[in-house]
Structure 1
Amino acid sequence: MSDLAGKVAVVTGSARGVGKAIAQRYARLGASVVVNYSSDEQNARRTVEEIEAAGGDAIAVQADIATPAEIDRLFATAVETYGSLDIVVANAGVEIVDEPVLDATEEQFDRLFAINSKGAFFTLQKAAKLLTDGGRLINIGSSSTVSPVPGTGLYSSSKTASRQLVRVLALELGPRNITVNTILPTVIAGAGVFTQVTEDDEFHQVNAGMRPLGGRPGTPEDVADAAEYLAGDLAAWVSGQALLVSGGAVQ
């Protein structure tokens, strides 16, 4: 188990799903956590309450990651509250699946790229300027950027930009001993567009059959395991990498 005592972590899009699991994990490991949300204040407050009930320290901060000025406010609040910034997870994102490329609209394009590409870019850029030397930047990408999947052309395209950005930032921030990595989750039960889909659902039963490990769909805790590793001392020599969290499947 990693020791994050004394660290300050910001996890964007952490009111629920994968972001929530990561925020809760970091808090259990001793970090002070900033729970970010765009519009879901109720679940963000609930996440903070659950962290505090378990003995952790957290605050909720509203900020739309698609707006750089709001990212500035998010990080300013984190530093004002806790005094430093050590770990940032760029998790906020939006999904559209089962949408053929020929049916994608300009409105959908603008929405996905504003959050998944522009939002991730400025989250990582602005975090890097404030991060303590030896800090950790983690981007949550998508396994759909590894292998092409019909119906995900728009979504996977919007996620590909930040994956390349991570590789470049790892080189630029290396002299400060800041690691920069990407986690590429597969379909995760209870997260994103699959939030309301249970493990007993036929979709997940079929999907789980494609996973060599465990014969089950992925969970937010699986992604939090990877995020714990990349935030801790064991990953101090790992940077510029993309970790596929897919139960052994290629996507």
Structure 2
Amino acid sequence: MNQPAQQQQPPGETGRLEPRPDHGEESYHGSGRLAGKAAVITGADSGIGRAVAIAYAREGADVLISYLDEHDDARETAHWVEQAGRKAVLVPGDLADPARCRAVIDAAVAEFGRIDILVSNAAQQMTHDKVEDISDEEWDRTIALNLSAFFYLTKAALPNMPPGGSIIGTSSVNSDSPTPTLLPYDVTKAGIANMTAALAQLLAPRGIRANSVAPGPIWTPLIPSTMPPEHVESFGSSAALDRPGQPAEVAPAYVMLASDEASYISGARIAVTGGKPIL
């Protein structure tokens, strides 16, 4: 048992999490690995997205923070980016709408002039014990936000991404070991893994790399806002390390894949699962 039973309304708030997650605010130290780069990160208001934004800024990148409507959380992320001496751009909006995806990319190009790194991370999930309890609307929205948005963002970003650019999708351990009560989410995470592998081959002639990160159980607002309290209480116990991971423990994988050190890494999927293998 790693955290008390608790519940929030979706999409959840960082400030109400107990214990408060570690995004690397006090622990992540950069070394210039992304100096001068411009990054777009979706779902960057909290959780993994916030941790990646903090790490990228401390590595020298300017960051566009795309988020739904969690304005307080997004402003806190921006605070940490700016404290690192980098530019933070806040763009709210629902990425289930293709037009919003294009607007996010347009804002990044207007602010930065180009996009060196695209991290598609925004996602939703809901827990259901029966297939019949998954509404048509929920199915369509989960596909639109988790998977289709990745396509629309990538398509819009590519004309503004120079050689050396990096596209990173957030997949999941669920892509290989689907949790039956998270059916729509499982499907989208498998799709992200496959789409990233295809993009790596399509974009290689342009010098643009595409990879994905497959997190396991990570402690973020998504968990108590989409799972029953008793599941929250035991969240992470299935990992070999017997605990949920912290967002700060995932961010280094995104840094590595975005950096020039990963110049020959494309089509890869990096597991950050607390010991559970992925295929």
Q: TM-score, normalised by structure 1?
A: 0.90
Q: Indicate the larger mover: 8-17 or 144-153.
A: 144-153
The residue aligned with 1:188 is 218
Is the 2:120–2:170 contact (alpha carbons within 8 Å) kept by the matching residues of 1? yes
The residue aligned with 1:211 is 239
The residue aligned with 1:79 is 109
Read off the aligned partner of 2:190 and give its amino acid letter.
T
The residue aligned with 2:43 is 13
Report the Cα offset of residue 2 of structure 1: 5.7
Alignment of 1:36-55 (within 5 A): 36-55=66-85
Instruction: Compute the RMSD of aligned alpha carbons.
Output: 2.2
Alignment of 1:93-242 (within 5 A): 93-194=123-224, 206-213=234-241, 215-242=242-269
Report the Cα offset of residue 204 of structure 1: 6.4
CA distance in 2, matches of 1:105, 1:196: 15
1:247 and 2:274 matched: yes
CA distance 1:131–1:125, change in 2 (3 Å): same
How many aligned residue pairs are there? 247
CA distance in 1, matches of 2:170, 2:32: 20
Read off the aligned partner of 1:240 and give its amino acid letter.
G
Secondary structure class of the residue paired with 1:129: helix
Report the Cα offset of residue 42 of structure 1: 2.2
Report the Cα offset of residue 207 of structure 1: 4.5
CA distance 1:61–1:69, change in 2 (3 Å): same
Q: Which sections of structure 1, spanning at least 5 residues, go unmatched?
A: none
CA distance in 1, matches of 2:200, 2:86: 30
Q: Which sections of structure 2, spanning at least 5 residues, go unmatched?
A: 1-30
The percent of aligned pairs where both chains have the same amino acid is 34
Higher relative contact order (CA 8 A, sep 6+): 2
Secondary structure class of the residue paired with 2:89: strand
CA distance in 2, matches of 1:226, 1:26: 11
Read off the aligned partner of 1:189 and give its amino acid letter.
W
Q: Indicate the larger mover: 47-56 or 131-140.
A: 47-56
